[in-house]
Amino acid sequence: MDPDEARRIVRETNYVTWRRQGGWDPLLITRAQGSRFWDSAGKEYLDLSSQLMATNLGHGNERVIEAIAHQARQLAYAGPAYATEARARLSQSLGEVLPSGLRRYFFSTSGTEANEAALKIARAATGRQKILARYRSYHGATAASISVTGDPRRKAIEPLQKVPGTVFAPDCYCYRCPFGLTYPGCNVACADYVGYQLEHEGDVAAMIVEPVVGTNGVIVPVPEYLPRIREITRQHDVLLITDEVMSGWGRVGEWFAVDHWKVLPDILTTAKGITGAYVPLGLTATTTAVHDAFRDRYFPHGHTYEAHPMTLGPAVAAIEEYRRLGLLEKSRRDGEYLLRRLREIQERHPSVGEVRGLGLFAAVELVRDQKTRAPFNTEEDKLAGKPLVADQVAAAMLKEGVFCVSWVSHLVVAPPLIIERDELDHGLDVLDRALAVADQHVTDT
């Protein structure tokens, strides 16, 4: 098909997610390999954000591709009531990498669905309705998952599709502390406030958190935060759901972010990197105790593609590849280098307020004024379709052949875990140059 014709057809017949539909003119991507992809004109791009923080294994991994082909030849589909070899093998593999204690699995086809299942399971298992979430969060696009989402996407849909019962808690966001305090003198007040909420709120089934906040800023909590949240939720008999859709599968240097703090949630959700995004798979993993709540009680969830063999077989291969390539260790090693380079870049640009991250998961937060920490843009600007400075920086990078995700007022640097050091250096050099676009908008002081 002619590339221009293909772009026209897609543009004129498809929806595009999370934006106003007018003015969309997408690139036509034709192939990808390693940490790079190419458009229909043959231009090469370095993928500095793993598309949507998903292609942890990079593009074109032959072992995962072969696993997809093998599964298609052997058994392309079976209903969720059947056992399959792919289901058994993946369940066995998950038992080796998930936090000890998470031994019951529900398979779906996205992170959104994994969270939807987790919320329904928590409510049904406890008989309670309310969910405690956080403001700087994203948990998905379905009715329940968007209702516990804090970012502007919830505001856009809330009048039309809202599941009641969400209560929002403060974030562990030291750069913009909701209490105006400074760590460590704050004594992690954001965690203690959760205890106050649970003591007075009542009817809370679960708290859902991203251990490392994803799209909304790659916010890494202070060391005491997550263990304290776990302690507080246990004290109040509230389930803890950890959303590891982005932070899992080596992204932050461990199999899962909770491993950094030795925290065992009651429910863990994940997707994206579980197959390296080669096929869509979501996972909701629970403790046996949560599962046992349904031993003599109706389990109120399911769908046609639950435990779809075509999604499970490649996940086994993906887990083997994380191990074979030593990607957890590489993520830790390269993550230290990435943060060091980003801090050097920060020193040269008045538009950079903070850089932060863990493993190969980092954010560059842009500000109009470093002293006041005033951002260039707000969530309201995003919803209103106003030009965003972060988008302008990302566009400048794309012109130089480097793709980087931007969101409201920050950039997400999360390359495939297989990225070579010279590729990472190239991407960061391009980022360094592109930040001059943001520097031009800095308030004179």
Between CA 53 and CA 177 the distance in angstroms is 26
Bridge partners, 204 (sequence order): 130
pLDDT in tens, 242-288: 999 999 999 999 999 999 999 999 999 999 999 999 999 999 999 99
> For residues 252 and 359, is the Cβ–Cβ distance under 8 A?
yes
**Interaxial angle between packed helices 309-324 and 327-348, expressed in degrees from 0 to 180 and rounded to the nearest 10:** 80
Tokens of 253: 């240097």
Burial of 219: CB neighbours in 10 Å, binned 0-12, 13-18, 19+: buried
**Averaged pLDDT, 285-293:** 97
Tokens of 229: 């949240």
How does strand 402-403 pair with strand 44-47? Answer: parallel
Q: Where are the domains of the chain?
A: 3-57+326-439, 62-324
**Interaxial angle between packed helices 309-324 and 85-97, expressed in degrees from 0 to 180 and rounded to the nearest 10:** 40
Q: Which of 1-5, 217-221, 224-228, 429-433 has the lowest mean pLDDT?
A: 1-5
Tokens of 272: 């994206």
Between CA 284 and CA 207 the distance in angstroms is 15
Between CA 97 and CA 321 the distance in angstroms is 13
Q: Which amino acid belongs to residue 41?
A: A
Does this model's pTM top 0.85? My answer is yes
Count of Cβ atoms closer than 10 Å to residue 51 Cβ: 17
Burial of 50: CB neighbours in 10 Å, binned 0-12, 13-18, 19+: buried
- Is pLDDT at 431 greater than 70 in this prediction? yes
The architecture in CATH of the region 62-324 reads 3-Layer(aba) Sandwich (3.40)
Secondary structure letter of residue 402 according to DSSP: E
Longest dimension (CA), the chain: 66
What does CATH list as the number for 3-57+326-439? 3.90.1150.10
Runs of H (alpha helix) within 158-203: 189-201
Segment (H or E) for 72 = helix 62-74
**Interaxial angle between packed helices 309-324 and 62-74, expressed in degrees from 0 to 180 and rounded to the nearest 10:** 150
**Separation of CA 351 from chain center:** 25
Q: Which pLDDT belongs to residue 58?
A: 98
Between CA 345 and CA 337 the distance in angstroms is 12
Q: Which pLDDT belongs to residue 444?
A: 62
pLDDT in tens, 374-398: 999 999 999 888 999 999 999 999 9
